Structure 1
Amino acid sequence: MQKCKNCNMQFSWVNIYKSFWWGYKPIECETCNTEHRITVLGRIIFVSLTILPMLVFGYFFSPFDHAFATMGVGIAILIIGSLFTPYLVKYKKVDQ
């Protein structure tokens, strides 16, 4: 899990997860108030674990003839992938 570049305090899983779903909102350290932004590689990792697997399943591997079943499994894949992303993405300190 990512730590603050200034004080080495670990970010909470919830703060990182919320930042994804609000347009990659910067994370502010709760201890020293240093702002961190997600890196380009972090954005690529997020998309690779959420959107990409869902689309690949929906277009190529769906065993269902029913559209709602395919969408349901696709959304489940998106949610499961998104739960792992806070452990893998990287943030960088914003220079002020």
Structure 2
Amino acid sequence: MKKCASCNNQFSIKQLLRSAWLGYEKINCQHCEAIYEHSFFNRVLVSLISIMPIVIAFIIVEYYDLNYSISFMLLSVALFILIALISMRYLKFRRVD
């Protein structure tokens, strides 16, 4: 979990995900009002997270010869959630003055 550099207040997973998936909004510390923005690394990571589940689901559906519409959608959503939660550890932010 990421913390504010000024006051060590932890940012919630909801706050981080919302910021990353809704146009890289700036994150405000609720305790000391410090403002943080996403690094370039975060933008690349979120792009990869968006593409990887689709590619993995496509490979699985093709390999096991499953029904495309339902299987592809369920696998994509499940992988997307899993990869997004794992990647939260690697997000980096910088303080805006």
- TM interval, shorter chain, is 0.7 to 0.9
In the alignment, structure 1 segments of 5+ residues that lack a partner are none
State the SS of the aligned residue for 1:2: coil
Q: 1:26 aligns to what?
A: 26
Q: Which moved more, 1:71-80 or 1:23-32?
A: 71-80
Q: 1:67 aligns to what?
A: 68
Higher normalized helix content (fraction of residues):
2
Structure 1 runs of 4+ aligned residues shifted over 4 Å read none
Q: TM-score, normalised by structure 1?
A: 0.80
Q: 1:84 aligns to what?
A: 86
Q: Which has the higher contact order (CA 8 A, sep 6+)?
A: 1
Letter in 2 for 1:67: Y
Give the CA deviation at 1:23.
1.4
Please give the root-mean-square deviation of Cα atoms over the aligned residues, in Å: 1.8
Identity of aligned residues (%): 26
Give the CA deviation at 1:20.
1.9
In the alignment, structure 2 segments of 5+ residues that lack a partner are none
How many positions carry a matched residue from both structures?
94
